[in-house]
Amino acid sequence: MDFDLTEEQILLRDTARDFATREIEPKAAELDRSARWPAEIVARLADLGFLGMAVPAELGGAGLDTVSYVLAMEEVSRACASSGVIMSVNNSLFCDPLVKFGTDQQRRDVLAPAASGKELGAFGLTEPASGSDARTMKTVADRQGDGGFVLNGSKNFITCGPEADHVLVFAVTTPDAARPKHTALIVRRGTPGYSVAPHDEKLGIRAAHSCTIFFDNVRVPAEGVLGGEGDGFSIAMATLDGGRIGIAAQAIGIARAAHEKAVAYARDRKAFGGSVADLQAIQFMIADMATELDAARLLTLRAASMKDRGVRHTAESAIAKLYASEMATRVTHKAIQIHGGYGYTTEYGVERHYRDARITEIYEGTSEIQRLVIAGSVLSA
């Protein structure tokens, strides 16, 4: 594997870093406190082509590769994890399945506006009583004579849900206690029967609004079916393979921000006749943090490069997501420890990174689900 970035990838990374440092990072603490949707940042992400990075240019995207997407995701998430996950959802969970499974009409009418940032998409898989076990999904869609469906049910924890123009909804179309079949439906906001609850109050990523969305006899025309009837589960799993790469990059960005702050604090803080950085206990924590960050980044770049090559990457994406998310929790924990009492206050910002990191072990497949995916790959080899 070639670990060297191309000139184009380096330029993209540096552009993302400059933008994130100048325009996002100064607002991150305020966005966290107020839980304000960062409309101005989302608009700038669109201007830079960061909302449809791997979508071909002729379909409204930037036409870049997954490695470039990972590099940009890390930089944006380092500045503000909320902005990072908004970017991730539109790229990985909405645009990507439309590129892979969409019709020409869907790509023209739905994908192109989302990839250019004129509209936003969301991903509707999780339900109040259905998370990791999709067999318990209650949202149903009944087929009509015209080839469309009538949708009933609800989806919750839908990131970007309050602001999304479209939601990719997965619903049961063939009920069966053991092996139900699901279909993926593109549902436009404002369709009669479509309603949105107030956004969730969360521990972290507070500016990236999520909510419950309700569907009460929502009519979805035939042209709103993504892929074929009954293909929903395979579409969801293929989408999550790529989505987990984005979340791994988000986790790396969060952890990197905490590590950089810990290093700066250790150098400045005086104790026992010198700086805290002179203490071996602190040096060992900083070394462990740097090692884990590097390992997570390499795992994530491997998964991204495999996706770019069109190679199956289910296990590699799960490995990257599992390791990067749990690494982020460990690194942000140590960053607070290095800051001591100050780390527990909002003054230095590391507590925000700690709160933001925790969700990366849960969404787009919990750590336990990643372990099942990885074990299944190992044991079936």
Asked about 364 being catalytic, the answer comes back as: yes
Of 296, 332, 246, 202, nearest in space to 68 by CA: 246
Tokens 């930089």 correspond to: 75
Average pLDDT over every residue of 230-243: 96
Does 124 have pLDDT greater than 70?
Answer: yes
Residues 10 and 7: their CA atoms lie apart, in Å, by 5
The packing angle between helices 39-47 and 81-88, to 10°, is 50
Average pLDDT over every residue of 123-150: 92
- Residues 298-335 as b/e (b if ≥16 CB within 10 A, e otherwise) read ebbbbbbbbbbeeeebbbbbbbbbbbbbbbbbebbbbb
Would you place residue 168 in the very low, low, confident or very high pLDDT band (cuts 50, 70, 90)? very high
Strand 166-174 and strand 121-124: pairing? parallel
Q: Does domain 234-380 have CATH number 1.20.140.10?
A: yes
Beta bridge partners of 170: 184
Contact between residue 59 and residue 107 where contact means Cβ atoms under 8 Å apart: yes
Would you place residue 134 in the very low, low, confident or very high pLDDT band (cuts 50, 70, 90)? confident
- For the segment 13-54, what is each residue's pLDDT rounded down to a tens digit? 999 999 999 999 999 999 999 999 999 999 999 999 999 999
Looking at 75, 119, 229, 364, which residue is catalytic? 364
Percent of the chain topping pLDDT 90 = 94
pTM: 0.97
- For the segment 184-220, what is each residue's pLDDT rounded down to a tens digit? 999 999 999 999 999 999 999 999 999 999 999 999 9
> CATH number for the 7-115 domain, one of 1.10.540.10, 1.10.760.10, 3.40.50.300, 3.60.150.10?
1.10.540.10
- For the segment 310-334, what is each residue's pLDDT rounded down to a tens digit? 999 999 999 999 999 999 999 999 9
Does 238 have pLDDT greater than 70?
Answer: yes
Residues 274 and 343: their CA atoms lie apart, in Å, by 20
Contact between residue 255 and residue 215 where contact means Cβ atoms under 8 Å apart: no
CB atoms closer than 10 angstroms to residue 102: 19
Residues 73 and 67: their CA atoms lie apart, in Å, by 10
Average pLDDT, the chain: 96
In this predicted structure, what is the pLDDT of residue 1? Answer: 63
Residues 127 and 150: their CA atoms lie apart, in Å, by 18
Q: Tokens at residue 203, please?
A: 């521990």
Average pLDDT over every residue of 118-133: 94
Tokens 């521990």 correspond to: 203
In this predicted structure, what is the pLDDT of residue 3? Answer: 76
In this predicted structure, what is the pLDDT of residue 270? Answer: 93
CA distances from 40 to 47, 84, 92, 330 (A): 11, 14, 21, 32
| CATH code for the part of the protein at 121-230 | 2.40.110.10
In this predicted structure, what is the pLDDT of residue 177? Answer: 78
Tokens 């989408």 correspond to: 239
In this predicted structure, what is the pLDDT of residue 133? Answer: 83
Average pLDDT over every residue of 141-164: 96
SS3 177: coil
For the chain, which residues make up each domain, given as ranges? Answer: 7-115, 121-230, 234-380
* 121-230 and 7-115 share a CATH fold: no
Q: Tokens at residue 17, please?
A: 């870093």
In this predicted structure, what is the pLDDT of residue 151? Answer: 98
Residues 189 and 185: their CA atoms lie apart, in Å, by 13
